[in-house]
Chain A
Amino acid sequence: MLSAWYFVLVGALVTYAWRWAGVVLSGRIDPNSRAMRWVTAVAYALLAGLIARLIVAPQGALAETGLWVRLVAAGIAVAVYFLCRRSIPLGVAAGASWLIAVSALMPSAP
C-alpha cells in the first residue's frame, strides 16, 4: 500500500489549488460586478448545502444516529440561540448535549 504521506500531499495540493485559483481570479473580477454577486450567491448556497448535508446525511459514525435525533438537535440549537439573545455557544452546547444524551440513553436510537 502507498504511504499515507502521498495522500496527505495530494490532498494538500488539490485543496490549495482551489484557494490559489480564487486568489488569481480575484485580481481580475470587479468586486462590485454582477459576476461577483453571482459568485457570492453560489458560495453561500454551497455552504448552506454542505451544512444541511452534514446534518441530514452525515458520513461516518454520525450516520448511525437517527435522523430525527439530529433534526431535533438542530432545532434545539436554533431555539436556544434565539432564546439566549443570539448566543452561539449556548445554542451549540444545547444541541450537542441533546445528541450525547440520546445516544447514551438509547444506544440504538432508530
Chain B
Amino acid sequence: MTPQASLPMVPHMGDPHDQTWISDHGSPRGARLAGMRAAIGTPALVLGASYLGFGAFVHQAGFDLWQGLGSTTLGWALPGQIALVEIFAVGGSLIAAAIAVGLANARLLPMVLTLMPILRHDDPERKPRLAHYLSAHFIALTGWANAMQRCPDMVPSQRLPYFLGFTTVIWLSTVIATAIGFHLVSVLPAPVTLGLVFLNPLYFMLLFVADLARRERGVALVIGAVLGPLLHLVSPDWGLLATGLIGGTLAYLIVEQGRR
C-alpha cells in the first residue's frame, strides 16, 4: 500500500497559482474520507503497535490507566511521552519532566511551522484561527510526513480535511492501543514487545526513504541521520536539537549553493 508511489513527481516551484492540482478528492468531505482511508492500515497499525508498548510501559512505571490515556490524548507525541514516564518512574521532579519533554518535543515547532502554510494555502487571512490551533495538536511525525508528501499536490481547500481525517484515525488508534497495552503488560512475551517497540523507528525510517528523492529534503535527512547518533554521544539532552540546527543549516547551505 504505497499510494504516494503512484503519484508522478512534480516539482513544487514557481507561482502556485497557475498550477493545476494533481490530487483532487472532489470535496472537503471526500478529502476527509480519503485521509481516513489512507490512515487505516499500515499507519494506524504501526502507531497502534508502538502505543501497545507505551501502554505496557506506563503500567510498569506506576501510572494508572487514566493517566496513561491522559498522556496519549493530551500530550500526543511519543518521544516526549516516553521521556515524561521515564522521569516519573525514577522519581524525578516536575521541572525535570518539563525540560525533558520540552527537549524531546521541540521538533514540533519547525514541523508545525512548515506544514501549517501548506494546509492553509488559499486562506485569505494571515492570522491563524481556532481551527488551526486545534489542528496543530494532531501534528506529529506520521501525519506530518504523510501530509508533507500528499498535500502540496492537493486542491488547497481539501488539505486540512485530509490531514484531520488521517490524523484523527491514527490518534484514536493510539488511544485504544494505550489501553490494550496497559492490560497486556504481563501477557506478551518479551521478544514480541521488543519487536512492537521497534516497529516505530523502522516505519519512520521507511516513511522518509520516499522523501530522499526530493533534494531539499534528502540532503537534510542524510546529514541528520549521520549527525543524530554522533551528537547524542556528545550530549544526550541537547544532541537532537543540535542535530536539527547544525544539520539543517548545513543542508540548507548545500541546497542553496546548488540552486545557483
Contact = CB atoms under 8 A, between A and B. Distances in A.
Interface residues of A, number: 79
Given A54-B201, A59-B86, A4 B217 contact: no
A74 B202 contact: yes
A95 B232 contact: no
Interface of B: 1-2, 5, 41-42, 45-46, 57, 62-64, 67, 70-71, 74-77, 79-82, 84-88, 91, 94, 97-98, 101-102, 105-114, 116-118, 126-128, 132-133, 136-137, 139, 141, 145, 189-211, 216-217, 219-229, 231-233, 239-241, 243-252, 255-256
16 contacts: A11-B74, A12-B74, A19-B137, A36-B114, A45-B223, A45-B224, A47-B107, A49-B244, A74-B202, A78-B205, A85-B2, A86-B5, A89-B41, A92-B203, A95-B198, A101-B191
Contacts of B75: 8, 11-12, 14-16
Interface in A36-91: 36-62, 65, 70, 73-74, 77-78, 81, 85-89, 91
Given A49-B227, A88-B42, A43 B74 contact: no
Contacts of A51: 201, 204-205, 208, 225, 228
Contacts of A16: 74-75, 136-137
